[in-house]
Amino acid sequence: MGLGRARSVAVVGLRALVVTVEAYVASGLPGFQVIGSSGSAALQAADRVRAALGAIGVTLPSRKVLVSLAPAEVPKAGARFDLAVAAAVLQELGTLGEGALAGTALLGELALDGAVRSVPAVLPSAAFLPGTGLHRVLVADGDAAEAALVGGLEVVPVADLREAVDVLRGERPARPVPDPERGPELPRPGDLADVRGQPEARRALEVAAAGGHHLLLLGPPGCGKSMLARRLPSILPPLTREQALEVAAVRSVAGRRAGDAGDRPVLDHVAPFRAPHHRASATALLGGGSGIARPGELSLA
């Protein structure tokens, strides 16, 4: 029995796991079924993939198309497996050769017109690949810089399914990836040097920053607590590369990207600052979610 096989990556929290996508075209009533997935977005992959294949001129045969995502017990929420599902189906149909997907992982959601969309948790997914035998990863244009933070990994940005097929068949060269550590310098929220007066409060911030101490700010409304807190990152030392990668990975899992903050570099060496509302729930602070863990404000900080 011939099978089309592609690889993708599932992420649970910050832990990643390689997912094998198998496609098989069998005799039976025409249909497209995806098994081994959980969540409505993953279960709807069949409809998105069918439409995306039609957008590039590929018509599925009037037979049963069965796609399996293994291991089945691992939660697989979201649409991050769409590109891998399409690649496995194309290999089963003979559009992609047997070796076209060797050593390659695919991450991306497919639009109905075949465009490849960004997905969360690309950085921890890419960081897991070295050492697994997968040396290349195809991602959406918007995720390429994030994946490029991982050394020893060939990152291939693709805009749509047609480009992905052409690259996998060797008919089109891979496009260059933007430098993930470069971006326009944006004004920071504030500098402690801008504060006039309040010498005791400024001294407390300096001591806390120098020694890595916790700090509690108390006072009546309007006395400057929030203003001082927002300026604390301006006197903190820059993050090391390892710390910056950890911060970027947590933001990636939360679905936050550098572009969401005004196109800062993907790897930002400025310490993160979070200001949750005083009525924020325990879930908002600690994180959590239904089936899939999401970072809370504490993790994002």
pLDDT of residue 191: 83
Residues of the chain with pLDDT under 50: 259, 261-263
pLDDT at 170: 92
Q: What is the DSSP letter of 279?
A: T
CATH number, domain containing residue 88: 3.30.230.10
**pLDDT tens digit sequence for 91-110:** 999 999 989 999 999 999 99
Same-domain pairing of 9 and 129: yes
Give pLDDT, residue 108: 94
Strands 64-70 and 15-26 turn out to be antiparallel
Whether 231 and 254 share a structural domain: no
CB 233 within 8 A of CB 301: no
**For residue 263, what pLDDT is reported?**
45
Give CA–CA dist 54/104, Å, rounded.
24
pLDDT of residue 109: 94
Domain count, the chain: 3
pLDDT at 258: 52
Pairing between β-strand 31-35 and β-strand 15-26 as defined by DSSP bridges: unpaired
Asked if residue 291 is part of any domain, the answer here is yes
Whether 174 is in a domain gets the answer no
Cα–Cα distance for residue pair 105/91, rounded to 1 Å: 14
- The pLDDT value given to residue 183: 56
